Amino acid sequence: MRISFDDIIAKLSLEDYREILKSEWKDSEKTFPHGKLPFLRTEQIEKSAKLGNLDAETVKYLVEKAVPEIEKDSYLIRLIWHEYHLLYLSDRPLKSNAAKLPHLENLIGEFAYAFNLLLVLAGYTHAIKLHKKLGIPDDIAKDTYSDLAVWCSFYRESRKVTGLTTRILGWMQKHLSGKLFRVGRLQYVWSEFPGKIVVYRSRKTGLLQALAEDELNFNSAGQFDGVDGIYDKKGVWTSRLECGNSLVSGNPVSPLGFAEKRKITLNLSEWEKVMSHGDKVLDIHIPAIGPMTIELCADSINRASDFFTEYLSERHFKAFSCCSWFLDMQFEEFLSETSNVIRFQREFFLYPIPVGASESLWRIFGEGALKSQVKDYPRNTSMQKSAAAFLEKGGHLRAGGSFYLKDDLPFGRQLYRKAALA
């Protein structure tokens, strides 16, 4: 039976997704195979699941329950093939927009999560070919693939389902397309520096000085004003950055994570610009795979520099960058100095970003925190207890930004913090 694009939209109630799905329908129609889809075959699922480090229970669920549920509906079969085509067979793959594909929970309930997981597993054969072409070491590839198990475990615990949301379907495309690699404890994505700062280095001392970009609104604490709808009506101020042929003046940004209202002037004969918004960086991500000691992080970052230089030499980068709930400088108010979070923060040059508390609440208290009140938050860990107490006193969590210049390696010496406190 030939199924048209309009049939899919109507039968599966996907009118809201018409725009993203309409691309290359005729092309995927030409590649649509007769018989069972290759990536829904048991042997292919088992092979890919092994790469993703999935457990036997998950594999059994996919093979015995999810696949039969999908295969009994010819419209779902046609849809999953089309999405597979868009993700892996297209000349213009849908990698960056995969998170916008439809999550089918309203249509097929819990099997929607398995639908997304099967699409990730379908991409492993393509990832293997790419990584072999790049010469990626087996241990790096294996660790990169294994992030799938981390997310499956998260959704099993948080939503009691087997599989993923389309949000993680999109995230996993970075792993499968050679954009993300895990080296030891941390993951890295070749990206662009997101910070709204300009960084200069003293030609004489080697010390760094960051200046805020022009016309940014900060509160009295030197953080972005208006984040999460919180405004500092009396203390708000606007940054100014003036760049001339020989001088640059602006508001300094402290390595401790805040902008300052005072203005300074740098003589460009003495200071060299070393990084600004949009420069190439390695964006750090922190998978939930156990302890995050500073020793493991230092080993990972130092090795990652060598890895990208040797295997991906065309991907030049100026620094390591990280924007995360982990980098909220307020954690120093209620966490021990020996905590991994604090030790991680203190290795980087911190700076403010206009990102609020949602990721912090999600990561610390679980997804339910986004729809509940502080009094209902769980208090099972020391982090949960301390963060909840901070919030109950009127505090507001936020995310923070950071960087570590490649030229300043090795990592692990609190280089920028020591300079700031000297």
d(CA 321, CA 278): 12
The predicted pLDDT at position 305 comes to 95
Q: Residue 92: pLDDT band by 50, 70, 90 thresholds?
A: confident
CB 287 within 8 A of CB 151: no
Average pLDDT over residues 280-306: 94
Q: Which two tokens stand for residue 346?
A: 């203190």
- Indicate if the pLDDT at residue 291 is higher than 90: no
The predicted pLDDT at position 1 comes to 67
Q: Which single residue is written with the structure tokens 């982090």?
A: 383
- Indicate if the pLDDT at residue 96 is higher than 90: no
Percent of the chain exceeding pLDDT 90 equals 90
For the chain, domain boundaries = 5-178, 183-356+398-422
The predicted pLDDT at position 288 comes to 85
pTM above 0.95, yes or no: no
The predicted pLDDT at position 196 comes to 98
pLDDT in tens, 239-259: 999 999 999 999 999 999 999
Average pLDDT over residues 172-194: 96
The DSSP letter of residue 411 is P
- Indicate if the pLDDT at residue 25 is higher than 70: yes
Backbone dihedral region for residue 199 (phi beyond 0: left; psi -120 to 50: alpha; all else: beta): beta
The predicted pLDDT at position 368 comes to 79
- Residue 314: strand, helix, or coil: coil
The predicted pLDDT at position 371 comes to 84
The predicted pLDDT at position 369 comes to 82
Q: What are phi and psi of 88, to 5 degrees?
A: -125, -25
- For residue 350, count other CB atoms closer than 10 A to its CB: 26
User: Before 352, cis peptide (omega within 30)?
Assistant: no
Average pLDDT over residues 320-324: 97
Average pLDDT over residues 140-157: 94
